[in-house]
Structure 1
Amino acid sequence: MFNPQTLQQFNNTDTPFYYYDLNLLRQTLNICKQAAGRYNFKVHYALKANFNSAVLKEIQVAGFGADCVSGNEVKAAIANGFPAHEVVFAGVGKSDREINAALDADIFCFNVESVQELLVINDLAAAKNKAAKVAIRINPNVDAHTHRFITTGLDENKFGINIWQLDDVVFTLDNCPNLQFIGIHFHIGSQITELDVFKDLCAKVNELSDWFEQRNLPVKVLNVGGGLGVDYNAPHENPVADFEHYFKIFNEHLIVKQGQEVHFELGRALVAQSATLVSRVLYVKNGINKNFLVLDAGMTELIRPMLYQAYHKIENISKPQQAEQKIVNYDVVGPICESTDCFQENVQLPESHRGDLLAIYSAGAYGEVMASSYNLRDRVQSVYSLPEAELIKG
């Protein structure tokens, strides 16, 4: 994956670091934009996946909107050039301060997750003599067949409003003059690879769109969320998510009435493959039953394997693939004082030595944004590859 010139530059760079392939990011954005544009779908980028400023700039320039789940994400989106009228604000626990700031910024829409939140937004908007645009986030009770920690659309989930509460929603909307209902919002989970579940989501969206229309609440926006997964197992072979199939499912199964817009909130699918965590082997510990490679990166730089038992492909990029190489099974671990600080067990790698560079791929989503300074660790730098093949540090 990395040419000799790049590897030489890696050797001269302090590790660990996040390496961003901006060429791949631009390619991914273009493919997604073309696939969505075929059906006039609108895509908002989910900032929670990665809010690195260079990444945000690429996405903003490509013409995507912004999906935010905190007040600071709203601020970051606008500061990085996303127009406020293309910013949506979701999140189950919006504070009054965050809501007021979003009202002052005149964002496009609040994705509302409870009846009580509707009342709070109405009161805060009234104090400013404003009307807040709102979409109702509904739990459609669709099983996304993904990890239980990242499924979000089932009944009795902390996110969204359950279907049996919708009569209360209608009553509240009818009695809140400072709310402007514009649509319905859904998000059933993350890292979804069985795309047929989106057909089930479409059926629910169609049903609920009719339900609101029948109660004299016209639905302008059908926001179906995101969740499209990426190939963590074979990032080299499949560096771009299957946007064509994904959007085609919604085009074929979603009933879009005249005047309605279809919005998506994609994060991981846009950025995951664009970054690699590059780390150096500090120590090799060979035992009777296990061999360990102790890296200078750990759960403070990429927590997904420890938090979700997530798989990331790992390669020793200091050892070119050779037919006669000795292959060793290693547990690849970090330096953090926690037993769970393990990227992967029983990784087959060429025999490795202190100083070797390891690449942990697909780190562009929920890598840098979830980094911490636990154990008083330094925050690590980011390195970028530009179209001119120049590496810059930031």
Structure 2
Amino acid sequence: MTTTAGLPDSTLPPFFSYQDQALHAEGVPLQRLAEEHGTPLFVYSRAAILDALAAYQRGLAGREHLICYAMKANSSLAILQTLVQAGCGLDIVSGGELERALAVGVSPDKIIFSGVGKTRAEMRQALQVGIGCFNVESRAELDVLDEVAREMGLRAPVSVRVNPNVDAKTHPYISTGLKGNKFGIAQEDVVETYRHAAACAGLRVVGIDCHIGSQITQTGPYLDAMDRVLDAVESIEAAGVKIEHIDFGGGLGIDYQGNDNPPAADALWQALLQRLDARGFGDRKICIEPGRSLVGNAGACLTEVLFLKPGEQKNFLIVDAAMNDLPRPAMYQAFHRIVPVQPRAADASSTVWDVVGPVCESGDWIGRDRELAVHSGDLLAVLSAGAYCMSMASNYNTRGRAAEVLVDGTQAHLIRARESVADQTRLERLL
């Protein structure tokens, strides 16, 4: 079916479609959800999440592996629960994320703790529950973790994150594998770092880790990074330190614009595993930490058109979603497709608009130069909003965070209630 605005279903993310001239998530009309729960509103497709995960599971079928969802992409409990019940472990970057992970019943040995700034309290917390691995980012972190583990009478399972100096060809804010980034140990320092880790009584070396960035849409950077990591493994093991698992991180991009072409997860892993086998490491356990590619295209943000403000140089379409709900455009100049929930007739006149929110910042924009036929009161859907939107949302301008709904077939479940001002001020005190 083609919409009245000429937008074919094939350009929508999977499991979102126009049915009877109305946008649906799976079998649920989005207009109905907005009427029931208000806007802004995040809506996720459970089928889309599980379908994205299935591609990774197919790609790694027959190999010893652990897929740990990078929960920083979207840490809503029901989404974590969905992925854990489907067999995922979880990749965390804070003590708070550890508590969320445990709350949804993930086995602690399927938790990987990443991040450059783990505190002693977070280390103790993770050691106490028995997580599977710490991805360590610096020599100083190794020494502190060793000290904390010895104080507790434990040995911390560790892998060291290698910085392979590979350009992921992505936005500089989400590139993590270059020498100028804050992440990981430089390739030339890796062997000595592993020798040091192996000599620490409070540490147990179990793997090696690499993550070069996010929203990667080419296979080449992954192959380059794999080669450099495998070079490191050869050198580390020649120095007498055994590596049990190889962690290749995440970072696979999604189609935000309708014409991006990132490799499918199963196709990507077919290419990577061929390289792994050719290098003689096909027997190693593989760990990966996808985030955006599991949830990004599974979500949409519904927003109501408040006002139309034509201007001499720009036409502004003011909506009730803002940079506190959808921070990616303001932070990364990111592109999200914006489509009508109920398109107007094919002959309705359209105008080119900047879609902006009500926050008092010129940086509060959702989309630039979008051709839309809309009236005040219409609903729009900001697509591909499942990752790095709610997890980065804020209360700027004392705006409550949006409600969230998870759709499963024809059922819709409220998984987060809309935040009130009372929720925001609960921990504050007057003098």
The one-letter code of the counterpart of 2:358 is: P
8 Å Cα contact 1:156-1:162 kept in structure 2 = no
1:32-47 superposed matches below 5 A: 32-47=56-71
1:197-276 superposed matches below 5 A: 197-234=221-258, 242-254=264-276, 255-257=279-281, 260-276=284-300
Residues of 2 paired with 1:197 and 1:173: CA distance? Answer: 28
Would the alpha carbon gap of residues 2 and 301 (structure 1) be closer, same or farther in structure 2, given more than 3 Å must change? farther
1:358-377 superposed matches below 5 A: 358-377=380-399
Q: What residue in structure 2 maps to residue 9 of structure 1?
A: 32
Q: How big is the shift at 1:318? A: 2.7
| The one of 408, 411, 419 aligned to 1:390 | 411
Would the alpha carbon gap of residues 173 and 102 (structure 1) be closer, same or farther in structure 2, given more than 3 Å must change? same
Whether 1:30 and 2:54 are equivalent positions in the alignment is: yes
Q: What residue in structure 1 maps to residue 14 of structure 2?
A: none
Residues of 2 paired with 1:53 and 1:306: CA distance? Answer: 26
Stretches of structure 2 lacking an aligned partner (at least 5 in a row): 1-16, 23-27, 416-431
Which stretch shifts more, 10-19 or 165-174? 165-174
- Secondary structure of the residue aligned to 2:158 is strand
Q: What residue in structure 2 maps to residue 143 of structure 1?
A: 167
Residues of 1 paired with 2:348 and 2:57: CA distance? Answer: 43
- Secondary structure of the residue aligned to 1:280 is strand
- Secondary structure of the residue aligned to 1:37 is coil
1:76-95 superposed matches below 5 A: 76-95=100-119
1:58-97 superposed matches below 5 A: 58-97=82-121
8 Å Cα contact 1:134-1:183 kept in structure 2 = yes
Residues of 2 paired with 1:31 and 1:145: CA distance? Answer: 23
Residues of 2 paired with 1:32 and 1:173: CA distance? Answer: 31
Whether 1:109 and 2:130 are equivalent positions in the alignment is: no
- Relative to the length of structure 1, the TM-score reads 0.94
Q: What residue in structure 2 maps to residue 48 of structure 1?
A: 72
- Count matched residues: 389
Q: How big is the shift at 1:42? A: 2.4
Would the alpha carbon gap of residues 8 and 177 (structure 1) be closer, same or farther in structure 2, given more than 3 Å must change? closer
8 Å Cα contact 1:91-1:113 kept in structure 2 = yes
The one-letter code of the counterpart of 1:364 is: G
Write out per-residue CA displacement over residues 183-238 of structure 1, whole angstroms, 9 at most, x where no aligned residue: 11000000000112111112101101101001100111110111100000128x98
Residues of 2 paired with 1:233 and 1:156: CA distance? Answer: 29
8 Å Cα contact 1:301-1:367 kept in structure 2 = yes
Q: What residue in structure 2 maps to residue 336 of structure 1?
A: 359
Which stretch shifts more, 168-177 or 105-114? 168-177
Residues of 1 paired with 2:33 and 2:263: CA distance? Answer: 27
Q: What residue in structure 2 maps to residue 126 of structure 1?
A: 150
Would the alpha carbon gap of residues 150 and 48 (structure 1) be closer, same or farther in structure 2, given more than 3 Å must change? same
Residues of 1 paired with 2:378 and 2:258: CA distance? Answer: 22
- Identical columns (%): 36
Which stretch shifts more, 106-115 or 26-35? 26-35
8 Å Cα contact 2:163-2:187 kept in structure 1 = yes
The one-letter code of the counterpart of 1:393 is: L
Q: What residue in structure 1 maps to residue 25 of structure 2?
A: none
Q: What residue in structure 2 maps to residue 345 of structure 1?
A: 368
Whether 1:179 and 2:200 are equivalent positions in the alignment is: no
Residues of 1 paired with 2:101 and 2:184: CA distance? Answer: 23
- Relative to the length of structure 2, the TM-score reads 0.87
Residues of 2 paired with 1:245 and 1:259: CA distance? Answer: 20
Whether 1:379 and 2:414 are equivalent positions in the alignment is: no
Would the alpha carbon gap of residues 126 and 222 (structure 1) be closer, same or farther in structure 2, given more than 3 Å must change? same
Residues of 1 paired with 2:325 and 2:77: CA distance? Answer: 17
Which stretch shifts more, 102-111 or 243-252? 243-252
Residues of 2 paired with 1:362 and 1:174: CA distance? Answer: 43
Residues of 2 paired with 1:51 and 1:302: CA distance? Answer: 15
Which stretch shifts more, 26-35 or 121-130? 26-35
Residues of 1 paired with 2:73 and 2:34: CA distance? Answer: 28
Q: How big is the shift at 1:116? A: 0.8
- Secondary structure of the residue aligned to 2:206 is strand
Write out per-residue CA displacement over residues 127-175 of structure 1, whole angstroms, 9 at most, x where no aligned residue: 1111111000010011111111100011142111112323541342243
- Secondary structure of the residue aligned to 2:90 is strand
Residues of 2 paired with 1:382 and 1:20: CA distance? Answer: 8
8 Å Cα contact 1:39-1:251 kept in structure 2 = no
Would the alpha carbon gap of residues 8 and 145 (structure 1) be closer, same or farther in structure 2, given more than 3 Å must change? closer
Q: How big is the shift at 1:33? A: 1.7
The one-letter code of the counterpart of 2:292 is: R
The one-letter code of the counterpart of 2:380 is: L
Q: What residue in structure 2 maps to residue 98 of structure 1?
A: 122
8 Å Cα contact 2:112-2:131 kept in structure 1 = yes
Q: How big is the shift at 1:323? A: 3.4
